[in-house]
Structure 1
Amino acid sequence: MKLSMIRWTRCTAIGALALFLLGVIFWGGFNTAMEATNTLPFCISCHEMRDNVYQEYRGSVHEANASGVRATCPDCHVPRDWLPKVVRKIQASRELYHWVVGTIDTREKFLARRPVLAGHVWDAMKRTDSRECRNCHDFHSMQLADQARFAADRHDRALNAGGTCIDCHKGISHELPPLPPVLSEDRYDPEYAEEIMETCAGCHGDKGQGTPDGEYPRLAGLDAHYIVRQLENFKNRKRINIPMIPYANERELPGEDVQ
């Protein structure tokens, strides 16, 4: 009887130890595999990402900047906390399906789907209060006095109004998808609009990306009505900005051009 009890105890202990070791091996393998998918090389291992959004990311402020801090794909698109990370990985299985069936396997297909894809990302970031942005950025840690006046004003307003990063920073590392024109076609002159944009691009960048130091703010992704309101404020001197004075007047920027 005692011998049987000893054997049972030993078998139980060995079984428990084996299960524990198997659990450690499984967890280690699972975690290693999950982290392997959280790297830039993995994210751009398919040509859809490598040939499209990655090319836009290169040279952006998230890839290279004065501080030398780099944010890559997983930093911006994968949560750090374990449970949200697992949920995101499960959601990614849909992306594998679309990769297999070739939903965006050409440049033309990608561009056609881009507004929808971008909308999904923006909506997700809005729901989580720009969670991945806040891995590095925090309103309460910002020294607004050290920021450019425009940036400080926008951050202060966003903080007080409950805004979130993605409200203003759409397209910060990738090109914005084509948006419908603000004006109806009978009032929209593409050639003249391009001429106006060339003037703006002289300071704000050819894609409205602004300058890294914030001296010339980013225009890409801002609400069209907000831009109109600010241009009108420049014209009537409700908002003073020295570089804008030569441009924000009725001769250089008549009302119809603002609209």
Structure 2
Amino acid sequence: MRKINKTLALMMTLGAIVGVAIVLATQWTMHKTSSTEFCLSCHTMQAPYEEYTGSVHFQNQKGIRAECADCHIPQSGMDYLVTKLVASKDIYHQFISKKIDTPEKYEEHRLEMAQTVWAQLKANDSATCRSCHSMDAMDLEAQSADARKMHEMGINEQQTCIDCHKGVAHFPPEIKMDDSALTALEAQAASVPASAKEVYVVRNASLGDLGTIYPATQMKVLSSAGASREVEIRGSQMQGTEQIIYYAAGQRLVLASLSEKGQQAVKPLSDWQADDYGNQWRDVALQGTWNAPALADREPMWDYARKLDNVYCAGCHAPIPASHFTLNAWPSVAKGMGARTNISDSELDILSRYFQYNAKDMKK
């Protein structure tokens, strides 16, 4: 009996030792495979590493560095285990499937991989971000006006960090919208019947020799003959810049830019009146011949603009409501953000106009 007890005790002791050894080995392995050095053992990680070294998470005035694991691996719990398990697929695709084993293949799949990380962070409420950053600890008053406004909006709308901070350490994927949406928009414009009472410009086009009319500008149809329409545009001119027709006094949404002949053809609808800043404005009308396709309303163009917003803007941050900024503020905001993407000038113009026409101070 004593011999059996001794054997059982020995087996239990050995089991405990083996168990502890396995736990320690597992912890050591988990720790080592979470290090930045381990990540860099795959040569395809060199490109994202170089991007990271150029970010504020690598070098900053406070001397605080976030390593790979600090951003990509939650510190504890099931999120930690799930993340480690999911991460094993990267090793599989590097060495076995060869899906990302070259820089070219890596770039080809950059969007897919980024979306996976974004989805993880969205699901766990940006757990790794919050291990260093806390909304409760933020001094919003010490932030810039724009940062304070965005963080207040994030708090009110219960957004998480990754909703807005998708490109903080690595270059965002190059996203390009295909031409099918624009082609469909132009086809819809071409099918608008001649009986339409008002039409809206799709692309920059000439109003005869009077000037250029810009996307989303409303034109009242006076008469039509075949594909040709006699139209009227109404807006406002500011004294000193009579070559431009704006949406309304004080609202610098450009409807048309006029030639010399166009300026002479403008019909004043009111006397000059000063705005709050001393600028003189008057309401005007311009009539001319329109030969290009045009939409029967703006909504199809706004659908297209929302797609542009989702492709180019939401790739880095959560969509910002058009009502977040004023009509006059939107062009500079959109231009500044657009410069960080590969959006074309014509696409950016339509997107900017969508924001302006739906801005918080838009007079309709």
Tell me which moved more, 220-229 or 129-138: 220-229
**Distance in structure 1 (CA, Å) of the matches to 2:322 and 2:67:** 30
Write the letter of the residue equivalent to 2:112: V
Matched, 1:34 2:35: no
Which residue does 1:145 correspond to in 2? 141
Matched, 1:57 2:37: no
Q: What secondary structure is seen at the aligned counterpart in 2 of 1:84?
A: helix
Write the letter of the residue equivalent to 1:70: R
Superposed displacement of residue 220, structure 1: 8.2
Write the letter of the residue equivalent to 1:89: K
Which residue does 1:258 correspond to in 2? 352
Which residue does 2:62 correspond to in 1? 67
Superposed displacement of residue 16, structure 1: 1.4
Residue pair 1:78, 1:132 contacting (<8 A) in 2 also: yes
Superposed displacement of residue 230, structure 1: 3.4
Which residue does 2:152 correspond to in 1? 156
Identity %: 33
Superposed displacement of residue 161, structure 1: 1.3
Change (3 A) 1:131 1:257: closer
Tell me which moved more, 53-62 or 8-17: 8-17
Q: What secondary structure is seen at the aligned counterpart in 2 of 1:116?
A: helix
Superposed displacement of residue 181, structure 1: 4.7
- Quick check: which one's helix share is greater? 1
Alignment of 1:73-84 (within 5 A): 73-84=68-79
Superposed displacement of residue 223, structure 1: 5.3
Change (3 A) 1:54 1:231: farther
Matched, 1:123 2:125: no
Tell me which of 63, 72, 93 is aligned to 2:88: 93
Matched, 1:232 2:227: no
Write the letter of the residue equivalent to 2:329: F
In terms of Rg, which structure is larger? Answer: 2
**Distance in structure 1 (CA, Å) of the matches to 2:178 and 2:123:** 26
Q: Deviations over 1:124-171 (max 9, x none)?
A: 111111111111111111111222221122112211211000111011
Superposed displacement of residue 224, structure 1: 6.7
**Distance in structure 2 (CA, Å) of the matches to 1:227 and 1:54:** 35
Which residue does 2:131 correspond to in 1? 135
Change (3 A) 1:23 1:111: same
Residue pair 1:182, 1:224 contacting (<8 A) in 2 also: no
Tell me which of 38, 41, 61 is aligned to 1:45: 41
Residue pair 2:163, 2:318 contacting (<8 A) in 1 also: no
Change (3 A) 1:89 1:26: same
- Quick check: which one's strand share is greater? 2
Write the letter of the residue equivalent to 2:327: E
Which residue does 2:266 correspond to in 1? none
Unmatched 5+ residue regions in structure 2?
187-202, 205-313, 334-348, 354-364
Which residue does 1:102 correspond to in 2? 98
Which residue does 1:221 correspond to in 2? 316
Q: Deviations over 1:47-100 (max 9, x none)?
A: 1111x2111111201001111111111111111114322222221222222112
TM-score w.r.t. length of structure 1: 0.71
The Cα RMSD (Å) is 3.0
Residue pair 1:228, 1:258 contacting (<8 A) in 2 also: no
**Distance in structure 2 (CA, Å) of the matches to 1:233 and 1:142:** 30
TM-score w.r.t. length of structure 2: 0.51
Unmatched 5+ residue regions in structure 1?
189-218, 240-254
